Amino acid sequence: MTNPMLASMRRDGRLLRGRPWDLAMITWVPLLAVMLLAWMFSAGLPHRLPVAVWDQDHSSLSRQLVRMLEATPGLAVRAQVLNASEAQWELQSMASYAVVQIPPGFAQDVKRGRAADVVLMHNAQLSTHSSLIQRDVRQVVGTLSAGVEMQARAKRGDPRQALAVRMEPVRTSLVSLFNISTNYEQFLAAALIPALLHILGMTAGAWSVGRELRDHTLGEWMDEAANGPPNGQPDGKRHGRPAGAATVLGALAGKLALPWLSLTLCGLLALLWLTVGRGWVVAGSFSWVGLALAALVAVSLAMGALLAALTLSLRTALSGAGLLSAPAFAFSGVGFPLLGMPASARGWAVSMPYTHYARLQLEQFQMGAPIVQSLPTLCSLVLATLVLMLLATAGVMRGLRRPDKWGGR
């Protein structure tokens, strides 16, 4: 008796050997894409972000501030502008991400004990660049200000031991617990790689099933899954028992098995490189993340297959796969707070599998959460895969009854 899953896997293996670009889309292209992402964020932290300085004071204190800015690892003083037009050009041309303005009378105000302002004009649209520059400039100005104040108090005879207390009688202790160094490789690369695999998984699922519709071979596929190889019979001609629900489900699982193996392997290799290869310490369980990644790829493939089975159109299924999977990262809560979204956007985010996977990965990679906390997420992904596969099976069976839909794009 023919095993539908194995028969479908053999058929797809045979097809992929004859179609190198189809094979590439589930093998070396995903691997190349995740390698590029890993390489892009390999610096970890952005360094030497270009800023311009508009020094209108030209005093020794303002020059000291400029030297301190230049000595900060996160900043690079790219240019010294002379007027507002040049400052505007630096920002609008994006040659510099910010302009530090030191107004006239800066040193005089400090000497007289009056408050002196240093103005930071930054491009807030580039939020990552902006936040890093704000942090570094705030630290530099704070250090300069504290030094000036301590010198002044020392001249007035305040005891050195009491200076620190008087300077800051109430302190805020900020304790970072996870990703202490704010490494963007851990923050973004580790999150973007599964998001990319989610997109590729949905696309591969839609393509695998939609291709049978486009090529008018849906009947041939099911015939081979139910009765074995066609033995030279013409395309689409059935020569044995018809395909039942179990056969269709097995054939669907066999068709998606090769993309699932390949994409999961690509993702695991990438995550291994980002953790073991880069010397990270995984706070939780890497194995648990690996299982969740395999489940995410499976549910992505099932979603793509369901789209093709429902629409009976390769083109519509691919469009739907892109529409659903491409914004998954934006709605995941990694880049924008999930609880800060409107209710409808939050509902959309919760309905997407990547949102739940991203949370599990953060729990295990950075936060060291107990496995029992991540267990519901993994179970939900597996359950969603089973439900989607059953729905896709019903859709394919409907497609078998509609040969008039075969052959379209």
SS3 245: helix
The structural domains of the chain, ordered by start, are 4-42+183-405 (no CATH), 49-165 (3.40.190)
Q: What is the pLDDT of residue 339?
A: 86
Q: What is the pLDDT of residue 280?
A: 83
The tokens describing 116, both together, are 């002196």
The tokens describing 82, both together, are 């002379």
Residue pLDDT tens, the chain, 409 long: 678 899 999 999 999 999 999 999 999 999 999 999 989 888 877 888 999 999 999 999 999 999 999 999 889 999 999 999 999 999 999 999 999 999 999 888 888 878 888 999 998 888 888 888 999 999 999 888 888 877 777 777 766 666 565 656 666 777 777 776 677 888 888 999 999 999 999 999 999 999 999 999 999 999 888 887 766 554 445 555 667 889 999 999 999 999 999 999 999 999 999 998 888 888 899 999 999 999 999 999 999 999 999 999 999 999 999 999 999 999 988 888 888 889 999 999 999 999 999 999 999 998 889 999 999 999 999 999 999 999 999 999 999 998 887 776 6
C-alpha 92/C-alpha 101 separation (Å) is: 16
Quick one: 296 exposed, middle or buried, by C-beta within 10 A (0-12, 13-18, 19+)? buried
C-alpha 313/C-alpha 206 separation (Å) is: 9
Torsion-angle region of 113 (φ positive above 0: left; ψ -120 to 50: alpha; else: beta):
left
SS3 344: helix
Taking the alpha carbons of 106, 108, 110, 116 in that order, is the dihedral positive or negative? negative
Our separate counts of H helices and E strands in the chain read 17, 4
Tell me the sheet residues that pair with 49. Answer: 75
Quick one: 278 exposed, middle or buried, by C-beta within 10 A (0-12, 13-18, 19+)? middle
Short-list 266, 277, 273, CA closest to 198: 266
162-194 exposure pattern, b = at least 16 Cβ within 10 A, e = fewer: ebeeeeeeeeeeeeeeebeeebbbbbbbbbbbb
Short-list 56, 74, 65, 77, CA closest to 144: 65
SS3 60: helix
C-alpha 375/C-alpha 386 separation (Å) is: 17
Half-sphere exposure for 126 (CA within 13 Å, toward CB): 15
The tokens describing 34, both together, are 């995740």
The tokens describing 303, both together, are 């979603």
Q: What is the pLDDT of residue 44?
A: 77
In this prediction the pTM is 0.83
C-alpha 81/C-alpha 351 separation (Å) is: 50
Residue 33 has phi, psi (to 5 degrees) of -65, -45
C-alpha 380/C-alpha 267 separation (Å) is: 20
C-alpha 251/C-alpha 253 separation (Å) is: 5
